[in-house]
Amino acid sequence: MNLSGVDLNLLVALDALLAERSVTRAANRVGLSQPGMSNTLSRLRKLFDDPLLVREGMALVPTPRAESLVAPVREALALILHALDERTGFDPSGDRATFTVSCSDYSVLMLIGPLVRRLAAEAPGVTIQVLPRSPEPVRALRDGEADLVIEPAEIMPDVALPTQRLFADRWLCCVWDGNTQVGDVMMMETYLRLPHLVYSMGRGQPVSLVDQHLTQIRTPRRIEFTVESFLLAPFLLQGTDLVTLVLERAGPHLQRTAAVRFLEPPLQLPPITETLYWHPRRSADPAHAWVRARIGEIAAELDRAG
């Protein structure tokens, strides 16, 4: 392929087509007319000598060649934009930027909420968009779907990504304050007998860290209720004998919203280490580095508070 004859705007259009899988939506995304995007798709097909998108019923489906282009095209565009960005620094008081963060609602409670309040005072032009936890966080960073990922280090795959340790937390049992099945101490017999409410990322996702540990020590729990939101748990415990596990640092927040109490688990559970991840291409981005530093400051304050 002769690169001297390639219009880089075609890559922008290709990225939109592969993401939207619709000529009309891709046209809207890049500001072209629908006939204009159809013409661009024809040029792309000639350039790559491949149909790229084929119709199956009412949908456009990418060919294997198109699928192989998704990540490199998105990364190439990100590198080009970074190279063309003339900023050598970041002025939080006046510059504008948007960052997408993939994390749990626990991380939103502990980190993103305080971050948004800090940004309102220090960087009013910075916007945070929160995405639900991604089942493929490494791919989300690679493809530019997320600028930052916050996950426990214990569940992230072993990949070479830049990281920043934020803070550690430990598990506590949580029950409705009126649960008469549980006394002042959570006994192992009670813990195994009572029904459990658990937090999950969704169907088909890996078993939680806690259940992996319980399986290893051959102490499975009786799961009766599964939710995808950590913050829903205290409300669903009300009026039931359900037991759940929550992270200790979230406890005071949860007690302000529901009548719950916390007890030490009857067995030793591994702690979690909340960790910040990003793609290497963003390491030198001044605005990205500034936001990472603010998240690190908030985490340090949590650590100092105990």
Q: Which residue has the higher pLDDT, 27 or 178?
A: 178
Give the pLDDT confidence score for residue 273 in this predicted structure.
94
Beta-strand (E) ranges in 68-146?
Answer: 97-102, 126-131
- pLDDT attached to residue 197: 93
Q: Would the CATH topology of 3-84 be identical to that of 97-166+273-305?
A: no
Write the CATH number of the domain with boundaries 3-84: 1.10.10.10
User: Which one, of 275, 219, 272, lies nearest residue 247 by Cα?
Assistant: 272
User: Per residue in 210-239, pLDDT tens?
Assistant: 667 677 777 777 889 888 888 888 899 999
Mean pLDDT across the chain: 87
pLDDT of 229 reads: 85
Superfamily of domain 97-166+273-305 in CATH is: Periplasmic binding protein-like II (3.40.190.10)
The whole-model pTM stands at 0.73
Note the pLDDT tens digit of each residue in 235-275: 999 999 999 999 999 999 999 989 999 999 998 888 999 99
Task: Check if CATH label 1.20.1560.10 holds for domain 171-270.
Answer: no
Query: In the prediction, which pLDDT does 259 show?
Result: 94
Average pLDDT for residues 127-150, to the nearest whole number? 91
Q: Of 2-16, 131-145, 166-180, which range is least confident?
A: 2-16
Break the chain into its structural domains and give their ranges.
3-84, 97-166+273-305, 171-270
Written as six digits, the tokens of 79 are 């590198």
Measured in degrees and rounded to the nearest 5, phi and psi for residue 225 equal: -145, 130
> If you search the block for the tokens 């600028």, which residue do you land on?
147
Burial of 88 (0-12, 13-18, 19+ CB in 10 A): exposed
